[in-house]
Amino acid sequence: MGAGAGLAAAFNAPLAGVIFTMEELHKNFSAVVLMPSLAAALVSTVVSHIIFGRNTIFSFPELSRVPIRLLPTLVIVGICLGVLGAFFNYCLVNASKFYQLPFFKNNFMRIAFPLFLAVILGFYLPQVLSGGNLLVDSLVTNNFPLKLLLLFLVGKFIFTMLSYGANVPGGFFLPMLVLGALAGNILANIFVSIGILDSALRMHVIIFAMAGFFAASVRAPITGIILIMEMTGSFWHLVPLSLVALFAYITAELCHSKPIYDSLLDKALAKDKEDSRKMVKKTTRNIMERVVESGTVIEGKFIKDIEWPQGVLVVDVKRGDKDIIPRGDTRLMAGDYLYILVAAVQEEAVIKMMEKLK
């Protein structure tokens, strides 16, 4: 709930905060999660409005409608953003390896390096510092040359990797959107120069590219689409936004890139010693909420006939607005919500078993 509320307050996008909670964090569109997520997002947005005002983190002018002839160009934008998003994920997950070089002998040198680099960039390339929202605003209002945009993209990309790899408090959510906007501006300038894009539509490509980069990196295309629509205040760009996000998502999948938050979670767990991790998990039991998906091996089966992992107990079945007390002869149907008591060490096995197709 807190993650969705934070996103809603930061971007003045309550609906995107709710969808992010369900699509990326819970990975399930559940009424149990929907209502408290919606309440948290609405409250955080109202509080943010009272204290900070109604302005969003980006300042976008009103956008014109997108002509149908632009859609094939947006497919190319989505593919390019998908490749860049997959590369971003790979570099971010492995950024900490840079600080394993012999030069970084202690934590002080590891932390001091990006700080010293920030001082230098503050004099020569200040645009790549901080979150980058002012840089995105300048992209919309100014027409930068292609070489300068490439410099901004490379500088922001490298500095984001070095900052995150230092393992000091910080994030990459906003820099991720900024990188998408920079990549979109570069593509827009190239398309304008070769005559396949009107210069008046350059701003559209910049904004659509943010949704594409988000979909490729986080693998939450619906969140990216709604986030951009709420930030721009324009809801008639659903089709072009969806087109860019769709092809960016597919391209990242074809590149065998894992969602960034899943990759970072796996990396964090791998840092712990295997024995201590197992010991902690064995003492922890959780209630999981999972939906029976159509076409999976458990659809249409009795609970007693399913090969559940050891230590798993189905404690409730919700079908529509009815709660069913589970028995061995309860037949599971697509759309049923199962509430499962499971040892933490077995959660992944349960998820894989329930997602296995017939």
Q: pLDDT, tens digit, for every residue of 116-138?
A: 999 999 999 898 888 777 888 88
Among candidate residues 12, 6, 32, 24, the one with its CA nearest the CA of residue 289: 32
State the architecture of 68-265 in CATH terms.
Orthogonal Bundle (1.10)
Global pTM reads: 0.77
Distances (CA, A) of 133 to 52, 69, 127, 141, 148: 16, 30, 10, 13, 17
Question: What is the tens place of the pLDDT at every residue in 39-78?
Answer: 999 999 999 888 888 776 677 777 788 888 889 999 999 9
Please check the confidence at residue 189 and state whether its pLDDT lies above 80. yes
| CATH class for the region spanning 283-355 | alpha beta
Q: Give the per-residue pLDDT at 280.
A: 47
Structure tokens at 129: 């510092």
Q: Which residues, including other chains, have CB under 8 Å from residue 326's CB and lie 6 or more apart?
A: 303, 314, 315, 316, 317, 338
The model's confidence at residue 191, banded by pLDDT at 50, 70 and 90, is very high
